[in-house]
Amino acid sequence: MLIGYARTSTLEQKAGLEAQRESLTAIGCERLWEEQTSSVGLRDALRAALDYAREGDTIVVTKLDRLARSVRHLGEIVEELEAKNVGLRILNLGLDTTNATGKLMLNVLGSVAQFEREMMLERQREGIRKAKEEGKYRGRKPTARLKAKEAQRLLAQGMTKRDIAKEIGVSERSVYRILE
């Protein structure tokens, strides 16, 4: 059985999710799991698809980045699938792990993707460093600190830190930090 998994990072990417859905159904996926969550967020639909897969099934995704967040994460998924004798197909790469060549190519491409991401982050850090040196980058505006007086007022009124966080629109951790 072909089992499809589709993911977009944000709710605004409805067209991307629809395109993935169309591609997966066009190649014959009988079951389809989809979700709209960031790669680092909880991915309940991915977990459900992996749990559903049985020996001889194949998980199908349109692109590698829709499935795994890193080479390590990809390795964990592939290991789980191999233990269940479940294959993996990545459509845009023409990759199928039910054969030895497909497994080799998956590892190579996963490593290249991680290298590319690390290079992008390195360039980003260099750009930020340079902008700081030129006085053009000051970082993110400290939104929680600007709300410190309001947080102290609400605390004095007997409100819990969790409720204060919801009230002023910052994380609970930020409330603890500004009230210390």
Cα 141 to Cα 152: distance, rounded to the nearest angstrom = 20
% pLDDT > 90, the chain: 42
- Residue 12, pLDDT score: 61
- Residue 103, pLDDT score: 84
Q: What is the spatial order of strands in the sheet that 31-36 belongs to?
A: 31-36, 2-8, 58-61, 87-90, 95-96
pLDDT exceeds cutoff 80 at 113 = no
- Residue 178, pLDDT score: 85
- pLDDT, one tens digit per residue, over 30-89 is 999 999 887 677 889 999 999 999 999 999 999 988 888 777 888 889 889 999 999 999
pLDDT exceeds cutoff 90 at 24 = yes
- pLDDT, one tens digit per residue, over 118-146 is 898 999 999 999 999 998 887 777 778 88
% pLDDT > 70, the chain: 97
The whole-model pTM stands at 0.61
CATH, domain range 2-114: 3.40.50.1390
- Residue 19, pLDDT score: 92
- Residue 8, pLDDT score: 86
Strand partners for 179: none
Is 38 assigned a catalytic role? no
Domain with CATH 3.40.50.1390 in the chain: 2-114
In sign, the C-alpha dihedral spanning 152, 154, 156, 159 is negative
